Amino acid sequence: MIYPIVKFGEPVLEKPSATVTQFDDDLRKLIDDMFESMYAARGVGLAAPQIGISKRIAVVDVTFKENPDAKLVLINPEIISKEGRQRGSEGCLSIPEFREDVSRAKVVTVRAQDVTGKVFEHTGEDLLARAFLHETDHLNGKLYISHISALKRDLIKRKIKKLVKAGEW
């Protein structure tokens, strides 16, 4: 099932998500739906709050279907180490049509549980490192625009307000 993507302005995007404790068939189904919804929206990462579900689950595929091994499920993820610096353009399915340069760590290790509840660690570089940080932020109720200047953030918020008024958001 393809879920519609929740857009900026919905409170679910700005509150911390709940820890997952049940690793059952419902979770499996939700994760399948999250991948389907992410691909349909042409994204490389999706966090559960972005489909209105306040649970600590994210899916990532920075290769966008190229490599099946690149499909990652992060349940209750935590960033356990960050190194270096990268600056690059970042966007979010919940803030469509906008992009900004965001400074992030270059190498990031995440500790998470898989769909069976097994704990694992995964280290990513460049785009994958960025995705780990972006998606984990989502689960903490934080959006990438919190990492840009207040001036740029306010400009985006003003533009979104106009779009909301025009019924285009």
**Which residues are designated catalytic?**
135
Nearer to Zn ion, 76 or 94 (CB): 94
In Å, what is the CA distance from 161 to each residue of 4, 24, 72, 113, 156? 20, 40, 34, 38, 9
Question: Is residue 59 within the footprint of Zn ion (CB under 5 A)?
Answer: no
**Nearest approach, Cβ of 24 to Zn ion (angstroms)?**
26
**Closest residue to Zn ion using C-beta atoms:** 92
Write out the two tokens for 43.
């994204």
Question: What distance lies between CA 159 and its chain's CA centroid?
Answer: 22
* Between 99 and 118, CB nearer to Zn ion: 99
In angstroms, give the least distance from the CB of 94 to Zn ion. 5
Minimum gap (Å) between residue 34 Cβ and Zn ion:
13
List the structure tokens of 77: 């993820």
H or E stretch covering 77: strand 72-83
Q: Is the CA virtual torsion 79, 85, 91, 95 positive or negative?
A: positive
For the chain, the helix, strand and coil percentages under 3-state DSSP, each to the nearest 5 = 35, 25, 40
- The residue among 4 and 119 lying less far from Zn ion, judged by its C-beta, is 4
Number of residues that bind Zn ion (CB under 5 A): 1
- Cβ proximity of 144 and 152 under 8 Å: no
96 token code pair: 């469509």
By rule CB under 5 A, what string of x and - marks binding of each residue 60-89 to Zn ion? Answer: ------------------------------
Closer to Zn ion by CB, 70 or 143: give it: 143
Stretch that binds Zn ion, among 60-68, 74-82, 91-99, 114-122 (CB under 5 A): 91-99
92 binds Zn ion (CB under 5 A): yes
Chain positions contacting Zn ion, by CB under 5 A = 92
